[in-house]
Structure formats: C-alpha cells, structure tokens
Structure 1
C-alpha cells in the first residue's frame, strides 16, 4: 500500500494521467474498479439475499454499474437504484449501457438486514452538502441493518477533510483505489469508512511524480531510514544528550516520564533539570537519568552548552507563566545557534496563550539558519486552540489543514494529537498517523510521546521524521499493551518495538 495520500483533485489528476499514458483507458479503469467491488462482495457476503446498488450520475455510479453487472452474471439478485442519468458520452453511461439491468427509483429502495447495499452515489469528490433525493436514501440505508460497501468513500463524506457534508453513509467496508485520501484517515471519516481496503486498478505509480503529493500515511516506510541506530563506535554523547525540565516538588512525575522515554528512544544521556525545591524529590526516583539543579534560564543555557545537550523538552509539569516563557525563549535562542532540537509540550504551549507571536518569532529565528536548530510543538486540541484560536474555530477546515497552517505560522513541526494525530512541517509536508489505540487516552501518555520525540531529535533525526516516528512508536507501544495501560508502562515497551523495526529494516535491505 503506497504511503502517499491524494486529495480528490489529485486523484482526478492521477486518473487523467493514467488514461493518457495507458495501458488502461477510462472504461477499463472503471471495469477494474467495479470488478474489485464485486469480488469483495462475493467473497465476504455469499449468503446475501439481494444486493442493492445505489448509483449516482458520475464515475462513482459507473463503478457501481460495473459491479452490478458482474454480480448479476454471478447469479446474485441485484437491484440498481438511480435518480438521474450519467452524462452523455461518459464512461459511466457506457457502463450503464453494458449493465442491461432495470433501473429502479429511490422510492423502490427497501433493503432488509439480510441484504447488502453498495454505496456508489458520490465517492470522494463531493464538495456540497447532500440533500433530496439522496439524503432520505442514505438514512434508509444506515437504518436498514444491512452491511454497506462504499465505493471509493462513503457518500456524504469529504475526501479532503474527513468531515460529513450534511449526512453520510456509515459503511462496513470501503473499497478504494490507487491511493487513500485524507478523508479515509481523518475522523469522523475513518470511523464511517469501516474497514478500508486499497485496490490496484492499473494506475501506474509514476503519475505521483507529476502530482507531487506532500501528504502521507505516517508509517515506518516514511521515516524508517532516518532512525539513528548506534554503531560500534558510538558512545553516550555521540547518541545525543536530552535535557528535560522539571516542575516544582508536587509536579515532577511528568518530567521523569518524559526523561525515561527519551532514554528508551535511544538517547545516550538524559538529564532532568530541576528547580532547587524539587531536587530531592527527583533524586529519590532517578537512576540512569541524571539530575541537575537548574533555577534560571541562564543556568539552563550554560549547562546545555557545557554538557553538549542536543535536545530539550520543556512543558510537562513545568508550570504555566512568565517563568516558563523565559526558559522557552532562552532555549530557542540556544537552538538558533547550534544543531539542537526543542520540544514544547503542555505548559510550554499554554504559557504563550496571550502572546503567541512571542513564541512564533522565537521559533522563526531557530529555523533561519539552514541546518541548525529545529522545534516541535505537541499540542492536543485544547492547547492548539490556545495558540491558534482562529484555526481551531475555522468551519470546514480539516485537521490536516489546521496543522499545516499552524506549522507554517509557528515555524515548527506541529504534532496535533488525537486518534488521528497529524504531523505537519512548515515546508508543507504532513502525515496522518494510522495506528492509534484508545488505550493511550491516559494521564501522562502525552509526556511519554514528547520524551520519545526529544530522544530521537537528540540523536540527529530530522524534526518531521522524528515527530512522525515518535507518534507511531508511542501508538505501537500502547497497542502492544492494550487494556489496563498506564503511562508508566509505555517506556518499557519501546525496546521491543524498536527491535522489530530494526529487524524488519535489516530483512528488507
């Protein structure tokens, strides 16, 4: 399965380029798509009493006509429901002519739970809200209890945003073609698609070079080659030194969670930088992680320079306010002058709620020197709103686009967390994570994620790839544990996940 994600417009361009280059013309691609749908229905639902095909007037409907013909030829009782007619001379009109089944109106659509419904109404290209006559049909389909197979994308779902346009089909299975669209992975679209399978219908992969997609699935194929494995000449400081900033004596646990996570992610050295009043609390719980009393931004910068720190994480449990902003701005100045990764989470984000421009200006300076420092922001939706209220409130704007615009504005990689975490870079690249588990919804989980990212940055991994890899590793660890997971479990699961990555990389090379 290719890692590129295509918008509906880009998918239309892929179709056009494929038809121009061959070997398949438009009718042949439609035949391949409809065949894939029919094949899945025959293999998954052999006991279906009747298959109802809901067909729209466009190419999605054409795919449905092909599927209906092939199912009927296989002996299935097929009923095709359509309002309107395909455009004269279109591939869909040709598919309708070959189908030779009667067309029934939507008023004749009365499915039983023992039937199967094929949704071939609109697909991924829909841009307007669904109204009559299609909305009542979608309501009937969803209420029927019959399994629904969506062609390309459930009708009523935006392939661009994953948002519902008025009303949408709730599919049990979605059969899509060539490459996934963002709407397959962004919620609520991911939930409405049910199981999604991607089918090769003959579009050559080389069309992607002309399309130039900048959106990806965040899977190991995207970032695996950037994972910094140690070699025989490595020593602890060659593997990077992470500084994690602790809060006061009653809020030290988050920093320690992040610190051990950075170490488990491969950093050679990790130091918790603690205010004086929390040193004893931290000392009672730290072994392999070092501890340094640090009360002022100046002390932090001096320690970072002296001990060759290559990344820093501030925010988890640190405390909100001007003291936090002073530390962040001092670390940003440090990052602008050397190879250095700065991860800002939790309190470090919230502290700039009333003056986000101060943060963005500081982060812009980091990226002004090519090959120097970098910054990663890891907000959940609430924290995102504090820095980017206009983007959070923009109606119809996808999570993908919100993260992309935030990254451009902040001059940082933005990790917008959630079940469909989006990782976006200021240069326009973005990825949607696909392996999340609901068991990660537990206190401290975000601190672990921030620590993993800081650990990868410390080893010299590029910021976008480090953020994407961190999100995937974090989710994979959570999925391996399952029910009962607490944040303290996650760091200890990372070695096995990383070992699996290394082994699979070796076997594929």
Structure 2
C-alpha cells in the first residue's frame, strides 16, 4: 500500500495537517478548483475500473467532498459511462458550486429512487465531527441498500477522520475507499477501518509534512554479507518460563526473520527442535554471553515470583530487549531506570491498559495518542498490537499498519510476532524500524498462510515473508 519510492505518499495526516498541506499548495499557485479536479478525476479512475460501464450513482453533499463527487460524475460521463448524481442538498462552497455547474449530466434530488451497480459516497469528507443528520443518514443507507457496490471518496460519511470513530451506528460497509491527497488515521484505525474495503490513494501534490505519521510498509532487506557468520548476523536470547511452548514458538519464528543464532533459555530440552540451542540452569548464570545482541522475554513467562526474577535478569542484560505477554503485566517503571539499550514492548489492548496504569497514564485519546504517550513515558518503542496495530517511538515517530488478515486472531500468533520483532532487533536493525519490519513480516506470513492456520504454521511462513523483501 505505501509507496516506498515516494515516502511522502505513505504519510498519514490529521484533518488540521491536511488543511495546512492544501493551503500550502494554494499559496504556491494552485487553487481549490484545480485541486478538486485533480482529486476528483483521480478518484474517477478507480470508480471507472469498478463500474466497468455499469450504472454509477454519485451522492454529493454540500461541501467540497460533494464537489469532488461532481468532478467524478463528469469524468465518468465524458468517458461514456452511465452516471447520475443525487444531491443531498445545495452546494455551499464556491468550488463545489463550480464543479456542479461543470457537470453535464442529470442531478436528482434527495427523494429520487436511484439504484444501480455502484454508489459513490461524496456526502461528507474528513472534516466531519458530528453524526449525520437523520435525513442524511437515511438517504445514505437507502441508496447503499439499492446498489451492489459502494465506494467512499476520502472517507465513508459518518466517520471521524483523526480517531476512526463511527459517528453513527449502522453505517454501510464499502468495497473501496479512495483517499484524497494523503492517508488519514481512520483508514487504519478501528472501528472505521472495518468499513473501508480496499484502500487506494490519489495524490494531489501534497509535500512531506514534518512529524507526520507513516504507513508501515514492506522492509528493505538484503542478504547477509559474504563474510557473515552467525554471531555477526545476531544472537537472540529467548527467555523461557513456566509455559515453555510459547517461548519455543517465538524462537522458531525468530529463526526465520534474520537473526543468525537463536538460543532458548529454558528448564528442559524436551520437544525442542534440534536446530535450536537450549541453555538450562539458573538464568543468572547462563544469560551472560557477551555475544548476545538482543533478548526476548515474556512469552510463556508466567506471573509468579520466579517469573519476576527472570524478567529482572533479562532486562539487566545490556542489549536491546523485546518485552511481551506476561512480562508486560509484571513490568514496572523502576525496571527500566537503569536500562541504556532500547526496549520494545508489544502489548495487546489488555496489556496496554496494564502498562498505562503502571506508568500512571490515563489512557485518554485515540489509539495513536495512547501509544505515543506510553512510548514517551516509558522510553520504550510501543507496538500496540491488534486489528489496528500502531507503532510509536519515544521521539514521537508513529506508524499505522495496513489491515492484516483476521485469521491472525488465533492463539500463539502474538508469540510469533514477538519472535519476529526480536529477530530483527537481534539483526541490529534499530528498535523502531525493527518493530515496523516485524509487524509487516508477521502480516505477510499470515497472508501466505491462507485461512485457518495455526501459530506454528504462521511461524513456518516467516522465511517466505522475509524472502519477499529481498
């Protein structure tokens, strides 16, 4: 989805940032009308592909999003397509009125019984902050019910751009959402992301915005150097605990994600593959190899006194650490005071709440707000994982992740993710970048699995996902 050859096309902008970016274009010689033509005709290309000469209905609202709709409709009409416009109300901006005047087709009123194959929603765009009125909601849902396919322009109407909140219950689901100018947070955050369908972006010339969040994309990975050996590629120490299967699963996943050597610290070698080295005995005695480049602690750790001790010993290792699962519940701020090496935390929602309590945060704001607040308070890179994963760094960098398959909602996939991220950290990728790379590889491995896979099958696909980046 992100365009790695054009990094600014991967940026995610708030409503305020988008307005400033558009104003910057206008200040340098463009105009609202020109930008509307660029955006609308770019969106029309995607609508044209979906419609395949079938009937298109464009629902236009009063503002500039409605103006985009008139441009889309005119572009389709010029190509010989069958298109009609339903105007929810009169246009209320100069650019929208100009676009309506340029449309050479039929404009119907809100009571029209329009039906067809493709409905294009241009009722309201990214600036919406309150629910749709009863009349507008009824119009949108009625038209949606009478069309086979739905396309949202910029955002589905009834969605709050910066938070991903649904401002109305019962909003329709879309087959395609065409973002205009830049991605918005709602394209990636739940619950709105579940309504979007396929995502596409129409550039309008927006330049890079300093401090903007980014869409996390495929990593750029190269083969090991010709003189590489296992330690140079990175030694990852995986700390086991009371439930050894989870740590073993993480270790297996880590083997395929780039580290040259994965070593499991556990109480037993039973059921461990022969190509994973197991160190037994007291952790304080065996976790002393100065060749370690990263440590992973948490999967299967448990929450008893022994687990707390193992966590403390793991964090005392002066290398980068990945903290997951039970370790996140046990983690206290004082455990990080002496750490100089980077730490990555990978909480799901429940663990995120536990960390917020530990660091005395109120948990207010959107998911990106919460992840950034925790990253800054803790000094850790935060991977707030879930159907709308967000990655935040203490220095303010922020990334959202395109939706992965919902088949990932099965036991053990979080252990696989921790292993993959830890492997990238062990391979000496900086912590924030390693987190972004690990999340992408995890999602790609899931895509390669197809439906109904186990965590073990997911781990086995990690090398194939890595190969896709070479």
TM above 0.5, one fold?
yes
Equivalence for 1:147: 149
2:40 aligns to what?
A: 34
Matched, 1:348 2:327: yes
Could you say if the C-alpha distance between residues 76 and 492 of structure 1 is closer, same or farther in structure 2, counting changes exceeding 3 Å? closer
CA displacement at 1:30 relative to structure 2: 0.8
Task: Compute the displacement of 1:480 (Å).
Answer: 0.8
8 Å CA contact 2:151, 2:176 repeated in 1: yes
Q: Out of 423, 426, 432, which is 2:400 matched to?
A: 432
* Structure with the larger helix share: 1
Number of residue pairs the alignment of both structures matches: 459
Return closer, same or farther for 1:52/1:439 CA change in 2, 3 Å cut-off.
closer
Q: Structure 2: state its 5+ residue gaps.
A: 4-8
Q: Check conservation: 1:177, 1:198, Cα contact below 8 A.
A: yes
| CA deviation string 1:366-411 (max 9, x = no partner) | 2xxxxx51111111122222222587864xx332222222222221
Q: Deviations over 1:149-175 (max 9, x none)?
A: 221111111221222112445322222
Q: Assess if the C-alpha contact under 8 Å between 1:62 and 1:91 holds in 2.
A: yes
Tell me the equivalent position of 2:59.
54
What pairs up with 1:63-462 in 2 under 5 angstroms? 63-73=68-78, 74=80, 76-87=82-93, 90-99=94-103, 104-106=108-110, 108-112=111-115, 114-167=116-169, 168-201=171-204, 203-204=205-206, 207-208=207-208, 211-220=209-218, 223-224=219-220, 227=221, 229-248=223-242, 251-274=243-266, 278-279=267-268, 282-295=269-282, 298-299=284-285, 303-335=286-318, 340-352=319-331, 359-366=332-339, 372-388=340-356, 394=364, 397-434=365-402, 436-462=404-430
| Contact persistence 1:408–1:425 (CA under 8 A) | yes
Q: Tell me: CA distance 1:39–1:362, structure 2 relative to 1, closer, same or farther (3 Å).
A: same
Quote how far apart the aligned CAs of 1:451 are.
1.1
Using the alignment, how far apart are the partners of 1:264 and 1:445 within structure 2? 15
Aligned mates of 1:283, 1:447 — CA distance in 2: 19
> For 1:297-320, what per-residue CA distance to the aligned partner results, in whole angstroms no more than 9, with x for missing partners?
x33xxx333342221111111111
Aligned pair in 2 of structure 1 residues 308, 72: CA closer, same or farther (>3 Å)?
Answer: closer
Between the aligned partners of 1:401 and 1:361, the Cα distance in structure 2 is 23
> What is the TM-score normalised by the length of structure 1?
0.83
Give the equivalent residue in structure 1 for 2:445. 477
Question: Residues 399 and 497 from structure 1, CA distance in 2 versus in 1: closer, same or farther, beyond 3 angstroms?
Answer: same
Contact 1:272 1:291 in 2 (8 A): yes
Offset, 1:60: 0.7
TM-score if structure 2 supplies the norm length? Answer: 0.90
Kindly state the Cα deviation for residue 264 of structure 1 after the two structures are TM-superposed. Answer: 2.0
- Residue 283 of structure 1 and its aligned partner are, at CA, apart by 4.2
Residue 463 of structure 1 and its aligned partner are, at CA, apart by 0.5
Ranges in structure 1 where 5+ consecutive residues have no aligned partner: 353-358, 367-371, 503-509
Whether the aligned pair in 1 keeps the contact of 2:390 and 2:400 (CA below 8 Å) is: yes
Separation in structure 2 between the aligned mates of residue 192 and residue 266 of structure 1, nearest angstrom: 35
> Once the 2 structures are TM-superposed, how far is the Cα of residue 143 of structure 1 from its aligned partner?
2.9
In the alignment, which residue of structure 2 is the partner of 1:7? 14
Question: Would you say the 8 A contact 1:322–1:351 is kept in 2?
Answer: no
458-467 or 256-265: bigger deviation: 256-265
Are the counterparts in 1 of residues 84 and 108 from structure 2 also a CA contact under 8 Å?
A: no
Determine the C-alpha separation between the residues in 2 that align with 1:494 and 1:233: 24
User: What per-residue deviation string (whole Å, max 9, x for no partner) do you get for residues 122-164 of structure 1?
Assistant: 1112122222332222232333344222211111112212221
| Bigger mean CA offset, 57-66 vs 459-468 | 57-66
